[in-house]
Amino acid sequence: MKYSTLFFSFIVMLLISCKEKPSEKLAMQMVNNTHSSFEVETIVSDMDIPWSMVFLPDNSLLITELKGELIHFKNGVKTSIKNVPEVFARGQGGLLDIELDPNYSKNGWLYLSYASNIENDGNGGNTTIMRAKLKDGALTETKVLYKATPNTKSGTHFGSRIEFDKDGYLYFSIGDRYVRDENPQHITKDAGKIYRINSDGTIPTDNPFYNTKNAKKAIYSYGHRNPQGMALHPITGEIWIHEHGPKGGDEINIIKAGKNYGWPKASFGVNYSGTKFTDKTSIKGMENPIHHWTPSIAPSGMTFVTSDKYPNWKGNVLVGSLKFQYISRCVLENNKVVKEEKLLENIGRIRCVRQAPDGYIYVAVQNLGIVRLTPSL
C-alpha cells in the first residue's frame, strides 16, 4: 500500500539511552522528499535493538541484537545462531558490530565486536573483537583478536564499528569508556582510539606506534570520543568515521595514521550540564573534523552510496541519527558536507545503514527491524 506522505506515531524520546515503546510496523510506504522519492518496506520485523547487519552470499542476513543474540534471516524466517559469545549487556554494551572478511566466499571468516568480561573478574567489561565461522547454525573456530583493558562497570562508550580497507587490514573503534580526561589522549591506554590489525589478530609492523615504548601497538589514531560509524571511501580508500560529541560537537573524521583528533582538548561540544570543558575548537597539530553537528544528532551507522539505483544520491554518505530519528543524506564536495537532506524522519532510532550487494539501502531501526529503501519508478 502506498501513501503520499510517510507518517508514524512515536512516543517522544526522553534521553538518548532510553528505550522507546514499539513503533508502528511498516508495510510499504511512500516517501517524497525534496530530492528523493522512494518506498520503505519492512524486511525484518519485531526486533529490539538491531545494532548491525551483514549480507551473506546467498542474500540472507546476519543481524546483531544488542542483548547478545545473533539472528540469521533467510526466506522470511529468523533463526538464532548458537555459540555466540557471552556479552556484557549494560547500557550501550552488548553485541555490537558484524562484518564479513573481504574474502568471505573463500575463507568463511566473519568478525564481531561486543562488550565482554572474558576474564570473569567481576569488574564489568570492555570492547572485544572476535572472528569466527558460521557452520550448521552455530559459530565455530571462534578466536578473540583484541580485548580492550581494563574492564569497567560503566555501560557507556564502547564504540564499536568494524571495517576493512582495500589492503585487507581490519579497523575497529573503541569509545573512551566515559573516562574523558585519561584514555583518549594517551596511546599507552585503550579506549578513545581507532585500531588497525591484520585479519588474524596480529598487528602490522608499520602501525604508527608499533615501535613506541609502552604504546598499544594496535592503535592507528587517537583522541576520539565514541565512534559508532565507520565506512571505507569507495574512491580514495580512506577510512571515514563519525563519532558522538557530548552536548553538541558530533563529528565526521577521515582517519590518518598516527593522528590526534583532539578529544577532549578541542571540541565543538559542551558538558551535558551546559558548562564548558574546553574553550578550543581547533588546536594546531591536531586533526579537525570535516563536519560537525551542533546540536548533536547522536550519529550511528554510516555508508557511502555507490549504487546506480540511487542516481541522485551517488557519492553521498548516509548517517543515521539516534536522537532525531532520521537518516542524514550528506552531499559531499572536496571532502566537505555541503548539503544535508533528512530521510525517514521519525521512523525511530537508527542504528545501522548499509548498502547491500543488491545495491539497495537497508536500515536497522530500534523497536522495528530492518527496512529497505526502494527508489520509485
Instruction: Compute mean pLDDT per 10 residues along the chain, 377 residues long, and list them.
Output: 33 35 46 72 97 97 98 97 98 98 98 98 97 98 98 97 98 98 97 98 98 98 98 98 98 98 98 96 98 98 97 96 98 97 97 97 98 88
Calpha distance 352→25 (Å, rounded): 18
Of 157, 186, 291, 292, which residue is the catalytic one?
Answer: 157
Q: What is the pTM of this model?
A: 0.91
pLDDT of residue 15: 36
Answer yes or no: 157 catalytic.
yes
CA distance 42 to 59: 16
Instruction: Please tell me whether the peptide bond between 357 and the residue prior to it is cis, using omega within 30 degrees of 0.
Output: no
Q: Give the three-class secondary structure for 46.
A: coil
The phi-psi region of residue 220 (left if phi > 0; otherwise alpha if psi is between -120 and 50; otherwise beta) is: alpha
| pLDDT at residue number 37 | 82
Burial call 130-169: b when 16+ CB within 10 Å, e when fewer: bbbebeeeebeeeeebbbbeebbebbbbbbbbbbbbeeeb
Give residue 29's pLDDT: 59
pLDDT for res 232: 98
In b/e form, how buried is each residue of 42-65, taking b as 16+ CB within 10 angstroms? bbbeebebbbbbbbbeeeebbbbb
pLDDT for the residue numbered 31: 60
Multiple choice CATH, 47-297, 2.60.40.10, 2.40.50.180, 2.120.10.30, 3.60.40.10: 2.120.10.30
Q: How far apart are CA 110 and CA 115, in angstroms?
A: 17
